[in-house]
Copies of this chain bind each other. A is one copy, B any other.
Amino acid sequence: MAEINRSWVLVQRPVGEDFDAALKLQQLPVPEPAEGQVLAKTLYLSLDPANRGWMAGPTYIPAVPVGGPMWGGVMGRVVKSRSDKFKEGDIVGGFGSWSDYCVLPADQTNKIPDTGLPLTAAQALFGGAGGTAYVGTIDVGQVKAGQTFVVSGAAGSVGSLAGQIAKILGATVIGIAGSADKCKWLTDDLGFDFAIDYRHENVRKRLAEIAPNGVDVYFENVGGDVGNAVLANLAKGARVALCGLVSQYNADNNPVDGLNLLPVLLKSGTVQGFILLDYLHRLGEASSKLGQWLAEGKIKYHADVVDGLENTLTAFKTLFTPGAAHKGKLMVRVDPSAN
């Protein structure tokens, strides 16, 4: 195996948004899989705001070790298997690293079936994005037909699916995003009822106009000013599915622009934090339903694909840039031959 294995190594924990100092592209040996592992050639990486937390310290998983490759969701082609579960050539998805080659534990890795869809669908519709949108909307948000559903980070991988799921379930759906272009995409392409551009509109006032009876379910991805504007418009008994707080991920130990929960108190609301790891038992149903809705033309996904492992860092930083152009699921095509 004389191949080059480039890898984004976490050389120090990030400070604020200085990811350039934290991550360096280095050449490492191609790793050897141990018993129960497979070696995969990376086809696609998934880039997500939550990656910032993994770099910074322990979250719901341990922190990425300084000096080692940055972790991430990957899809790859098995090139060496030391598990009965997989054979060479299998396309698999799991928890790998930002590298040309990843070693994956077989017991936590899944074979990606050939559905006839582009491979990007496995990360952009199914997988973590779709699973998170599904359980956040249904299990946590508990949205019902006729309710008003608001999602922030609406043009992102999870938000864009969450809004469409709520719409399928019969809710009036309002998305909040960071540009007129994204808002147009939400309403014209994805069928959201309304979209609010938080960088150019007063979210609190606009919501009060659009949803005079208040917001029944809020799928929260961002926090901060946007979060407070939505909370100020909650309906009695509202539910907040707390999925992300991307506005504060780069705050480190500095004080954050926290959320004013007085409306949650006065409206007898519930804020429920969740992570996908708590809902692994729901992923089968989620994939099945998402696939059905796709086939029925009720849901769309969008993979925003950046080519080249060397462009990973530049792409990652756009996740924290308000008004950045990307829509849907941000992915890096590591192997140019991947479909």
Interface residues of A (CB under 8 A from B): 53, 59-60, 223, 228, 242-245, 248, 256-262, 264-275, 278
> Nearest-CB distance from A125 to chain B (Å)?
24
Cβ–Cβ contact A266 & B273, under 8 A: yes
Known A257-B258, A258-B228, A258-B257; judge A273-B264 contact (CB<8 A).
yes
Cβ–Cβ contact A270 & B268, under 8 A: no
Cβ–Cβ contact A265 & B245, under 8 A: yes
Cβ–Cβ contact A266 & B228, under 8 A: no
Complex contacts, A244 vs chain B, CB 8 Å: 265
Complex contacts, A245 vs chain B, CB 8 Å: 261-262, 265
Known A269-B273, A270-B272, A272-B270; judge A264-B248 contact (CB<8 A).
no
Known A223-B261, A228-B258; judge A273-B278 contact (CB<8 A).
no
Separation of A243 and B273 alpha carbons in the complex (Å): 19
Separation of A266 and B274 alpha carbons in the complex (Å): 7
> Nearest-CB distance from A276 to chain B (Å)?
10
Separation of A44 and B248 alpha carbons in the complex (Å): 47
Separation of A261 and B220 alpha carbons in the complex (Å): 11
